[in-house]
Chain A
Amino acid sequence: MFDNLSEKLQRVFKNMRGEGRLSAANMEDALREIRVALLEADVHFRVVKQLLENVKQKAMGEEVLTSLTPTQQVIAIVKDELVKILGSHESKPRFANEPPSVYLIVGLQGSGKTTSTAKLARWLSKNGHRPTMVSVDVYRPAAREQLRILAREVDVPIYTGAENETKPIDLARSARRETVQSGRDVLLVDTAGRLHIDDELMTELKQLKELLNPVEILFVADAMTGQDAVRSADEFHKALGITGCILTKMDGDARGGAALSIRHITGQPLKFVGVGEKTTAFETFYPERAAQRILGMGDVLSFIEKAQEAFDSKEQEKMQQKLLDNEFSLEDFRDQIRSIRKLGPLESLLGMMPDMGIMKELKNVKVDEKEINRIVAIIDSMTRKERVNHMLINGSRRRRIARGSGTSVQDVNQLLKQYTQARKMMKSFSGGMLSGALGKKLGKMKLPVF
């Protein structure tokens, strides 16, 4: 994958310790690296250019703080600039004074409109609303059927239309009437994908807007979109006046620079992100997190997802409880180590995590296949009592275990140390050592033990 920006910057700044200041000369190289990182993240060329201007001005002549390395300092400046564009805080959906609030969901083909409509409906229901939906996509084969199936899944009513209703406008009108009659407060209108240069279909959207007077017009964009994101978002915005954006497919490894471009060109906030195909995989957009991701500073989300895939969640809940109750035994440790294998190469996994705080510590943990086998062998040579209470394991027991597992006493000592460390580390994970949104997320997630 991409080279980590912070590593590259570290290389750039390696020789500047003595200089004490970020200067024109040493910034030049740094800016070049930042530029490449942003372009590789699909941030639009022109946006990158302006951003670098700002960063340069800010960074020039700035004292190098002793508490931060120049790399960290520059990254902090860049990240601040990114966040400035992305929006400093999360942006909530809006509602009309007079219900129903109509949301028009628009975007290019295949961006994830229908899926996001269902996700949003679910999200609204969970947040005290009574939404309903309609699909006015009469073009794509089985598009209306798709939303019908998803409606059932999220348990939200849907207006499916009468036999003779085959025009988007007619469907929308009836759906609105139905929404009012059934006392629902939000109507989500899923529209057909279209190209921003398709005049006929863009006109159709304008008509829908006129008819429905939507309080939100949400542009659904694929996180993998390249440079053209600026253009399509701009044209949708010019035609309709979008009020926000949903960024989908953020569960992959796309850096999502399109978010920056879209926000920059439209000035409208990103409101939600799609992080999976399931209707539950939907979150509010956090500018901070997006900025980190654009900079390639780790993808905690996909890490967490991988972890979740590999670790059965019921099992994990039990573990979590055990940790909290200080009952996490060597046996549990062994099971955890075993399931790590399912995650694939550990190195690549840890590479996905941001380079900071506790993550950094974790990054230095190296576990290879042989090591795992050794650990499992050692634990298998213990008695059940020893596995449940590691405090029992004194010198003579250590010698016995080493003999039994074909290892050395040092190996056994090493393992016991790892185990107690892991216990400590996991406790701090579940205890929310990380602050903010990320901390909350990690806190809730059942993370594996390393």
Chain B
Amino acid sequence: MIQTLFGSVEQEPTLLEKLKAGIEKTRTGLVRGIEDAVAGGRRIDADVLEELEYTLLSADIGVATTNEILNLIRDRAERHQLSDSSELRGLIKTHLLEVLQAAERPMPRVAEAPAVVMVVGVNGAGKTTTIGKLAHRYQSEGRSVLLCAADTFRAAAIEQLEVWGQRTRTEVIRQKPGADPSAVIFDSLQAARARKIDYVVIDTAGRLQTKDNLMAELAKMKRTASRVVEGAPHEVLLVLDGTTGQNGLEQARKFTETAGVTGIVLTKLDGTAKGGVVVPIVRELGLPIRYVGVGEQLDDLLPFEPERFIESLFA
């Protein structure tokens, strides 16, 4: 069973099965570190803790969360609930899993098409690529899709989305470069309604969360969407580059504040970066992670499942 904006559907797409190199890499990095730390039932001493700390910090999990985990371990060790390092893994796993599962929530149910998904994030995070992949995914669920080129700012952003439109045989609603993004959204939603399209996915220009005027623009775009389609956008996905460090937390905060993010897509996990900053993000903001990006091809988007994700970290 997988969730979609129109409820659960039976068949999981086949791509789900192909756990990609990226997740594997993420896995080996973290696992190797932890394996080292827990090798041979060592006593939990300063060395073990430092190795562990290194493993967690170098995954970008952040100082606060890392300290919390280390304190948990120290505490248990002191109370003799934890005697040897081989038990560490289970403890950390349970802890991280709790954090991620607490934020899990079903996708909102959209009673009447179109379901509107708006994709936001900082520059170069992978928004447009993710949209191409999403279009492909929705289509494989048997849905019709329309793409909205509301990044009217970056050079050739519209052309880029149009290439993804061709690849997925999806119509792209566009205007001229420099046009008002809200106007493009207006057009797109009207078109989608008239043509009874299931999904509209809105591409937006990248923006750093510190730029108040650009953030305000997002809020305006949202308002426009809701004026044409009640309850739209139904999902606001924040695309987060998996190589991002601690600034990711600030990104998630600000985009949630002004654009009402409802879920996260973590991209570029096919590299060696671990994307650990999602842990503090999920914990603080309670945002579910919807998908992970593991490449530049159409089917390189996997649904995020906390269980599997952590499992793959510690397998």
Question: CB-nearest residue of chain A relative to B207?
Answer: A277
User: Counting CB contacts under 8 A, is A197 at the interface?
Assistant: yes
Question: Within 8 Å of chain A (Cβ to Cβ): is B208?
Answer: yes
B235 at interface, CB cutoff 8 A: no
Question: A253–B250 contact, CB under 8 A?
Answer: yes
B299 lies within 8 A of chain A by Cβ: no
Q: Which residue of B lies closest to A1 (CB)?
A: B250
Query: Is B243 in contact with A228, judged by CB distance below 8 angstroms?
Result: yes
Cα A196 to Cα B58 with chains together (Å)? 17
Select which of B153, B212, B273 is within 8 A of A228 by beta carbon. B273
Interface presence of A249 (CB below 8 A): yes
Contacting pair A224 B163 (CB below 8 A):
no
Restricting to B273-310, which residues have a CB under 8 Å from any CB of A? 273-274, 276-277, 296
| B124 touching A253, Cβ below 8 Å | no
Contact with A along B194-234 (1 / 0, CB 8 A): 00000000000010111111000000000000000000000
B245 touches A309 (CB 8 A): no
When C-beta atoms are compared, the residue in chain A nearest to B25 turns out to be A197
Across the interface, which residues of B come within 8 angstroms of A41, CB to CB?
246
Interface string of B142-177 (1 = CB under 8 A from A): 000000000001111101101110000000000000
Task: Determine if A224 and B156 form an interchain contact, defined as CB atoms under 8 angstroms apart.
Answer: no
**How far apart sit A1 and B249, CA to CA, in the bound complex (Å)?**
10
In contact, A306 and B124 (Cβ under 8 angstroms): no
Give complex CA distance A141, B298 in Å: 12
> CB of B126 within 8 A of chain A?
yes
Query: B164 near A141 (CB under 8 angstroms)?
Result: yes
Nearest CB in chain B to that of A309: its residue = B213
Which of A226, A252, A258, A309: most chain B CB closer than 10 A?
A: A226
Q: How many residues of A contact B (CB 8 A)?
A: 49
What 0/1 readout, one digit per residue, does chain A (302-338) give for beta carbons within 8 Å of chain B? 1000100100000000000000000000000000000
Residues of the A chain whose Cβ atoms lie less than 8 Å from the Cβ of B246: 39-42, 226, 255
Task: Tell me if A231 and B272 are in contact (CB < 8 A).
Answer: yes
Is A252's CB under 8 angstroms from B122's CB? Answer: yes
**A99: interface (CB < 8 Å):** no
Interchain nearest-CB distance for B301 vs A (Å): 15
A139-B296, A226-B245, A253-B210 known; A149 and B272 CB under 8 Å? no
Q: Closest CB-CB distance, B26 to chain A, in whole Å?
A: 11
CA distance A277 to B162 in the complex (A): 22
Please report the C-alpha to C-alpha distance between residue A271 and residue B296 in the assembled complex, in whole angstroms. Answer: 29
Residues from 203 to 259 in A contacting B, C-beta threshold 8 Å: 222, 224-229, 231-232, 249, 251-255, 257-258
Question: In the complex, are the beta carbons of A222 and B213 less than 8 A apart?
Answer: no
Could you tell me the dominant secondary structure of chain A's interface residues?
loop
Q: Which of A104-112, A176-184, A365-373 contacts B (4 or more CB under 8 A)?
A: A104-112
Asked if residues B160 and A277 are in contact (CB atoms below 8 Å), the reply is no
Name the B residues within 8 Å of A108 (CB-CB). 243, 268, 271
A112 touches B123 (CB 8 A): yes
Interchain nearest-CB distance for A143 vs B (Å): 8
Cross-chain contact of B273 among A150, A226, A254, A257 (Cβ < 8 A) = A226
Interface assignment of B59: CB less than 8 Å from any CB of chain A: yes
Cβ of A24 < 8 Å from any Cβ of B?
no
Query: In the docked arrangement, what's the CA distance between A329 and B174, Å?
Result: 49
CA distance A109 to B297 in the complex (A): 13
Judge whether A224 and B209 touch: CB under 8 Å: no
Q: B164, A228: Cβ atoms under 8 Å?
A: no
Q: Does A61 count as interface, using CB distance less than 8 angstroms? A: no
Interface residue? A356 (CB, 8 A)? no
Interface string of A23-45 (1 = CB under 8 A from B): 00000000000001001111011
CB-defined contacts of B209 to chain A, threshold 8 Å = 252-253
Could you list which residues of chain B lie within 8 angstroms of chain A, going by C-beta atoms?
Answer: 25, 54, 57-60, 62-63, 122-126, 153-157, 159-160, 162-164, 206, 208-213, 241, 243-248, 250-251, 268, 270-274, 276-277, 296
Binding site for B on A (CB under 8 A): 1, 36, 39-42, 44-45, 108-112, 139-143, 145-146, 148-150, 153, 195-197, 222, 224-229, 231-232, 249, 251-255, 257-258, 277, 302, 306, 309, 344
Give me 22 A-to-B residue pairs in the complex whose CB atoms sit less than 8 angstroms apart, sorted by A's number.
A44-B58, A45-B54, A108-B268, A109-B126, A109-B268, A139-B296, A142-B160, A143-B156, A145-B155, A145-B156, A195-B268, A195-B272, A197-B271, A197-B272, A224-B245, A227-B274, A228-B271, A231-B272, A232-B271, A254-B245, A257-B245, A306-B212
